[in-house]
Amino acid sequence: MTLHIATPLIESRPLSLAAQRSVWLKLDALQPCGSFKLRGVGHACEVHHARGARHFVSSSGGNAGLAVAYAGRKLGVPVTVVVPETTTERAKELLRLEDAKVVVHGSSWQEANELALTLVGAGDAFIHPFDDPLLWAGHASLVDEMAAAGFKPDAVVLSVGGGGLLSGVVEGLQRNDWGDVPVLAVETTGAASLRAAMQAGHTVELERIASVASSLGAKRVAEQALACTQLHPVQSHLVSDRAALEACERFLMDHRVLVEPACGAALALAYAGDALADFEKVLVVVCGGATATLGQIQEWLKQVE
């Protein structure tokens, strides 16, 4: 019994019409804590719990922190999550609903993460938001579920922040002998750390994150994510913040599911359709986002105008 659930795999009529090809959705926004993060985080927490961890520590004001808090509550392990000052009140409230202790520190995730590492004592486990082989192994279960359903897409579209989802999906494709299925990796223009790494041939630290898609806001992508682009067919795509936000609104109307702009980036590529021209059957990972509100998305849309 895993902490994550097997999520629905459905064909999207609205997206298929928009892209003029068959577009399928892996609805990981329906995980109990609101995002795909539970696959990897849940796996990591279960492994550490089995090894005797008595306390989980994480650094994330978003989906990863929520996944750790959920996993800790289900496993009966106390959780401390260090979040940066930019974290929304809604995110902090959701963390507390899962009985997590919330510590606010620093102006960025990097600063919050530095403090979190100092809080890890003997018998504790640190759960990284995206850069950990245990996470990637857990995220790979998304592909296992498609294989078990007998569904092999011609391409997979997903959003990239730190690169945990990309690393996991590529691991899943490889272990199911689907090395011929390309991944279309989507970032917003102001948070394109994977694109920068692919162009440079090594990971690069962005000067700043200039995107409302804060879940994509890793200044440096994980080394494993870059490695994935070298061992598997991965295409880098960029969309604007506006396109990502409009995709969130459109997806809410089309499928009655609210996702955050980080997820909207992948959906924006699918709605535009041009990048999918070489493929007949495309899977979009609807990765989710528990902290998004419709009001916030509409406010951001006013700002990018």
- Residues 89, 216, 23, 151: is their CA dihedral positive or negative? negative
Residue 137 is which amino acid?
A: A
Q: Which amino acid is present at 99?
A: D
Q: Which of 188-197, 215-224, 288-297 is predicted least confidently?
A: 215-224
Mean pLDDT of 291-299: 91
Q: What pLDDT score was predicted for residue 250?
A: 97
Asked if residue 107 has pLDDT above 90, the reply is no
Start-end ranges of CATH 3.40.50.1100 in the chain? 9-36+134-304, 37-130
- Number of residues that make up the chain: 305
Q: Which residues of 187-222 are buried (b: 16+ CB within 10 A; e: fewer)?
A: bbbbbbbbbbbbeeeebbebeebebbbbbbbbbbbb
pLDDT on residue 214: 66
Place of tokens 């989906």: 63
Contact 250, 242 (CB under 8 A): no
Sign of CA dihedral 143, 174, 227, 268: negative
Mean pLDDT to the nearest integer, 139-155: 98
CATH of the structural domain 9-36+134-304, one choice from 3.30.700.30, 3.30.360.10, 3.40.50.1100, 3.40.50.2300: 3.40.50.1100
CA 303 to chain centre: 24
Q: Given a cut of 70, is residue 216 above it in pLDDT? A: no
Checking if the pLDDT of 173 tops 70, the result is: yes
Average of per-residue pLDDT across 123-131: 94
* Domain 37-130 coded CATH 3.40.50.1240: no
- Is residue 239 within 8 Å of 245, Cβ to Cβ? no
Residue (of 70, 49, 75) closest to 60 by Cα position: 70
pLDDT mean over 233-261: 96
d(CA 82, CA 70): 15
Distance CA 159, CA 154 (A): 17
- pLDDT attached to residue 43: 98
Reported as a single tens digit per residue, the pLDDT across 43-94 is: 999 999 999 999 999 998 789 999 999 999 999 999 999 998 888 899 999 9
* pLDDT at residue 218 greater than cutoff 80: no
Residue pair 268/275 in contact by the 8 Å Cβ criterion: no
Residue type, 124: D
Q: What is the DSSP letter of 2?
A: -
Residue 62 confidence (pLDDT): 87
Cβ-contact 249, 297 below 8 angstroms: yes
> Got the DSSP string for 204-249?
---S----S-GGG--SS--HHHHHHHHHS-EEEEEE-HHHHHHHHH
- 187 three-state secondary structure: strand
| Full strand arrangement of the beta sheet holding 183-188 | 9-11, 22-27, 281-286, 155-159, 183-188, 234-239
